[in-house]
């Protein structure tokens, strides 16, 4: 998994973000293909999450995802991405819906075809009544998208900290950055790190701010318009439920 570089001056890096490169180059250049490949590799899981909800079968979701990305990376769909091109998230979800619809149309044609072996996408669970307690496929896609962005931002911060020689501190406080550890644990963690509690809290606060910036940098890499970053961040936090 290739991480987008964390820029010291984010505004200066927007012209080289991955989705901008894809949008400008489409699939007609090595640079565009490489950027699209990076994005597809990074955001594979949201597509699987969406398809798992639609198909109600984990194996079918993985198989369909492989077929979808193979077609996308072949350059067959990128040229029709004008409407949703501003956000890679929107483009990706729209493309997988279109791909799935085409597969179902093809399956129906095969069922009606004279002399052809009947091939079906049906699965015993495919038409099960959805559980009203679970989210919709679109919401599950957004949730997994948000989780992926957060994980990639965290990995970028981890790489940064280790490069600066503060990797041990990062690993010790990582639960605090993600909310996995409660407030009362800070005193014990400060002692382990050999720091006074107030200094420890300041250091953690700085890491949280840096994490947010890393996440914003990751989001920026999937957008064309820098003005859309804040809106996309709000979508991300809403999808995470906070």
SS (H, E, C) the chain: CCCCCCCCCHHHHHHHCHHHHHHHHCCCCHHHHHHHHHHHHHCHHHHHHHHHHHHCCHHHHHHHHHHHHHHHHCCCCHHHCCCCCCEHHHHHHHHHHHHHHHHHHHHHHHHHCCCCCCCCCCCCCCCCCCCCCCCCHHHHHHHHHHHHHHHHHHHHHHHHHHHHCCHHHHHHHHHHHHCCCCHHHHHHHHHHCCCCHHHHHHHHHHHHHHHHHHHHHHHHCCECCHHHHHHHHHHHHHHCCC
| pLDDT, position 238 | 94
Look-up of token digits 């909310």: 179
pLDDT value at residue 78: 60
| 22 in Cβ contact with 4 (< 8 Å) | no
Give the tokens for residue 64.
Answer: 């369909």
d(C-alpha 188, C-alpha 170), whole Å: 15
pTM of the model: 0.78
pLDDT at 117: 40
Contacts of 209 (CB under 8 A, 6+ apart): none
In angstroms, rounded to a whole number, what is the distance separating the alpha carbons of residues 196 and 70? Answer: 53
Distance between CA 134 and CA 125 in Å, rounded? 16
> pLDDT (tens digit, 0 to 9) for every residue of the chain, 242 residues total?
333 333 333 333 333 578 888 877 665 678 888 888 899 999 999 999 999 999 999 999 999 999 999 988 887 666 555 544 578 999 899 989 989 998 888 878 776 655 444 333 444 433 334 443 457 999 999 999 999 999 999 999 999 999 999 999 999 999 889 876 665 578 888 998 999 999 999 999 999 999 999 999 999 999 988 889 999 999 999 999 86
């Amino acid at each position: 998994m290739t991480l987008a570089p964390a820029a010291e001056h984010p505004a200066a890096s927007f012209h080289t973000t991955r989705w901008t490169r894809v949008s400008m180059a489409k699939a007609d250049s090595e640079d565009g293909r490489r950027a699209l490949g990076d994005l597809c590799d990074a955001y594979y899981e949201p597509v699987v999450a969406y398809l798992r909800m639609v198909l109600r079968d984990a194996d079918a979701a993985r198989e369909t995802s492989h077929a979808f990305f193979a077609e996308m990376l072949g350059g067959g769909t990128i040229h029709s991405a004008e409407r949703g091109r501003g956000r890679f998230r929107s483009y990706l979800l729209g493309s997988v819906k279109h791909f799935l619809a085409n597969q179902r149309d093809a399956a129906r044609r095969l069922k009606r075809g004279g002399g052809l072996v009947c091939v079906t996408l049906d699965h015993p669970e495919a038409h099960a009544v959805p559980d009203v307690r679970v989210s919709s496929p679109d919401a599950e896609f957004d949730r997994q998208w948000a989780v992926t962005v957060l994980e990639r931002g965290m990995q970028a911060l981890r790489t940064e900290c280790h490069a600066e020689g503060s990797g041990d501190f990062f690993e010790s406080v990582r639960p605090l950055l993600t909310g996995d550890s409660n407030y009362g644990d800070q005193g014990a963690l400060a002692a382990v790190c050999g720091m006074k509690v107030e200094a420890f809290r300041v250091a953690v606060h700085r890491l949280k701010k840096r994490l947010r910036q890393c996440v914003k940098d990751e989001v920026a890499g999937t957008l064309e318009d820098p003005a859309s970053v804040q809106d996309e961040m709000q979508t991300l936090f809403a999808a995470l439920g906070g």
